């Protein structure tokens, strides 16, 4: 009787040398990071406290992330804050979009882009 060596194909540990079937590459999803969410929810919280906004939605797609702001849950969003990394070097990754599709402001800095949604200060 002959002894088997580890190099032989019939050896029980040969399953460790199986080449896995190649899978589809994982496509990264665009999301808002913690700092961006802090800025978004800061503005959202102030406007909810004023009684103007009531609901929001977050959509994360392969090409962009969207923060939608609603006056009522059943309506179309009042505003959409979009993050599109493809436009980061050209026009800016962030945009505030009106319900009609009009881009109100676009830029590189989220806080400056959201300034278009802030109420102007009034003299009392």
Give the number of other CB atoms < 10 A from CB of residue 95: 20
CA distance 122 to 124: 6
CA distance 90 to 94: 11
Amino acid 112: pLDDT:
93
Q: What are phi and psi of 24, to 5 degrees?
A: -65, 145
pLDDT digits (tens, 9 = 90+) for 78-115: 999 999 888 888 888 899 999 898 999 999 999 999 99
Judge whether residue 7 has pLDDT over 70: no
Q: Which of 119, 112, 74 is nearest to 96 (CA)?
A: 112
Residue 5, strand partner residues:
none
pLDDT digits (tens, 9 = 90+) for 39-83: 999 999 999 998 889 999 999 988 899 999 998 777 788 999 999
Residue 65, strand partner residues:
60, 83
């Amino acid at each position: 009787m002959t002894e088997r060596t580890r190099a032989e194909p019939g050896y029980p540990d040969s399953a460790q040398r199986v080449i896995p079937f190649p899978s589809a590459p994982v496509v990264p999803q665009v999301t808002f990071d913690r700092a961006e969410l802090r800025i978004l929810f800061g503005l959202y919280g102030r406007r909810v406290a004023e009684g103007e906004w009531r609901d929001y939605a977050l959509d994360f797609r392969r090409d962009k992330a969207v923060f939608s702001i609603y006056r009522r849950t059943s309506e179309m969003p009042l505003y959409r804050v979009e993050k599109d990394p493809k436009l980061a070097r050209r026009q800016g990754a962030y945009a505030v979009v009106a319900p009609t599709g009009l881009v109100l402001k676009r830029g590189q800095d989220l806080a400056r882009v959201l300034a278009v949604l802030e109420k102007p200060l009034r003299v009392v």
